[in-house]
Amino acid sequence: MFFSDIVGQDAVKEKLIKQAKENRVPHALMLAGPQGTGKLALAIAFAQYIMCENRTPSDSCGVCPACTKVSKLIHPDLHFVYPAKAGKDKSDTADDSTIEGQEDLLTVWRKMVLDNPYMIETDWYDAIDLNNKQGIISVATAGEVIRKLSLKSFESDSKVMIVWLAERMNVQAANKLLKLIEEPPAKTYFIMVSENPNLILKTILSRTQQVFVPPLSASAIAIALTERLGITPDRARDIGKVSNGSYHEALRLTRHNTNDYFEQYRNLMRLCYAKRYPDLLDWVDDISRLGREEQKEFLSYALKLTRESLMLNLGLDDISYLMGEESEFGKKFSPFLGIANVNQVTKTLAHAYECIAQNGNPQITFASMALQLAKHIGPATQT
């Protein structure tokens, strides 16, 4: 993967390239930032640049044997770790990790990343059939990492271990890797990717050089959509505006005019407004059937749409990032979401997110959330 393949992030690219040119590549690097911003793509492009035999001042050459193999994710000195089901998570160090006995995880990983290096956690979990469970990077995987990196490199002078979603390391795995991350073998590099570094063991964080990968600009997304996918400039600008800095979200919006969670959100707010409590409990049953990561995505989306509706309420249409059905609903709903109740609504949604993220019972969490929202949304809240 080339740096030029990555949407935007010019400042991050320049920083990484400068480190490589000056032989100052940290032994442990942390690329941290929101999902969909290109962190995994940057990690792979940086690995390719480090291993490239004839790199240019701005990118890898793309034709040397190292570049050819890294671009296909098959270089023997490039390794990956990613969250998976406990007991079936040996990443690229095992041949018998399977999904329902059919495909090894590394094969699925390679296909997913090559198809879309902007994939998010739920995409991966769907691909490996984790359903309601959250993946982990376990102590068994940590042991395989140590074993793999203790061997001599096969072809390159350098070895690179990319750890995707490092926050999914359990405490035992993090402690097992601690000394290796602090003092790896010569020319061995860890590149960690994280969307929530606060969940990573502090002793691990203290041993990494952190680089923030910010949300993408709307203009960078729009340009990429037009140049790479042939989206019309007007539609590309609309998508860039509402994708919240995520190229993953932008790609999704090119396939769907309305967010997948829009119907759930609209139904929830309508039922809360009308105080239809029996129907709200039915809504709770439906949302509770989603996987945990999907529930978290819904709640993130609900917080976003709530914020955008408030902007409409305040007359700040220019900074309200809604389009299509979302925009129409936001205009109708915004009179009932204002200064008087927005804090209670957002706190209720945020609390539900925290409960789900901490493996709280979905039925109890969403029932409590719905009943609280019904108190704060309705004609009496009009401002």
- Enumerate the domain spans of the chain: 3-212, 217-255, 261-381
Q: Beta strand pairing status for 209-212 and 188-194? A: unpaired
Tokens 């039925």 correspond to what residue? 363
Tokens 């040397």 correspond to what residue? 64
Instruction: Name the class of domain 3-212.
Output: alpha beta
Residue 301 pLDDT > 90, yes or no?
A: no
Residue 363's nearest CA partner among 285, 310, 276, 291 is 285
Ordered DSSP codes for 108-163: HHHHHHHH-TT--HHHHHHHTT-TTPPPBB-HHHHHHHHHHHHSPPSSSS-EEEEE
What's the average model confidence in pLDDT over 297-312?
78
Give residue 221's pLDDT.
Answer: 94
Give residue 225's pLDDT.
Answer: 94
Alpha helices in the chain (DSSP H): 10-21, 39-51, 65-71, 105-115, 121-127, 139-150, 171-182, 202-205, 218-229, 233-242, 247-255, 262-274, 277-288, 292-313, 324-333, 342-357, 362-376
Percent of the chain surpassing pLDDT 70: 84
Query: Please, what is the end-to-end C-alpha distance for the chain in angstroms?
Result: 52
Percent of the chain surpassing pLDDT 90: 45
What's the average model confidence in pLDDT over 59-75?
93
Residue partners of 110: CB distance under 8 A and separation at least 6: 72, 73, 74
Tokens 């991350």 correspond to what residue? 181
Q: What is the per-residue pLDDT across 163-178, written as a single tens digit (0 to 9) for each?
A: 999 999 989 999 999 9
Residue 79 pLDDT > 90, yes or no?
A: yes
Of 380 and 58, which is predicted with more confidence?
58
Give residue 126's pLDDT.
Answer: 84
Residue 133 pLDDT > 80, yes or no?
A: no
Of 238 and 368, which is predicted with more confidence?
368
Give residue 129's pLDDT.
Answer: 81
Cβ atoms of residues 190 and 213 within 8 Å = no
Angle in degrees, 0-180, between the axes of helices 247-255 and 233-242, rounded to the nearest 10: 130
What's the average model confidence in pLDDT over 241-265?
79
Residue 382 pLDDT > 60, yes or no?
A: no
Give residue 283's pLDDT.
Answer: 93
Q: Which of 194-198, 273-277, 290-294, 359-363 has the lowest mean pLDDT?
A: 290-294
Of 321 and 220, which is predicted with more confidence?
220
Cβ atoms of residues 281 and 267 within 8 Å = no
Helix (H, G, I), strand (E, B) or coil at 322: coil
Classify residue 173 by its DSSP letter: H
Confidence bin at 383 (pLDDT 50/70/90): very low
Give residue 157's pLDDT.
Answer: 86
Give residue 80's pLDDT.
Answer: 93
Residue 81 pLDDT > 80, yes or no?
A: yes
Mean predicted lDDT score pLDDT of the chain: 84
Question: Measured between alpha carbons, how far is 187 from 157 in angstroms, rounded to an integer?
Answer: 7
106, 109, 110, 113: CA torsion to nearest 10: -160
Residue 163's nearest CA partner among 52, 89, 213, 247 is 89
Question: Measured between alpha carbons, how far is 152 from 159 in angstroms, rounded to an integer?
Answer: 9
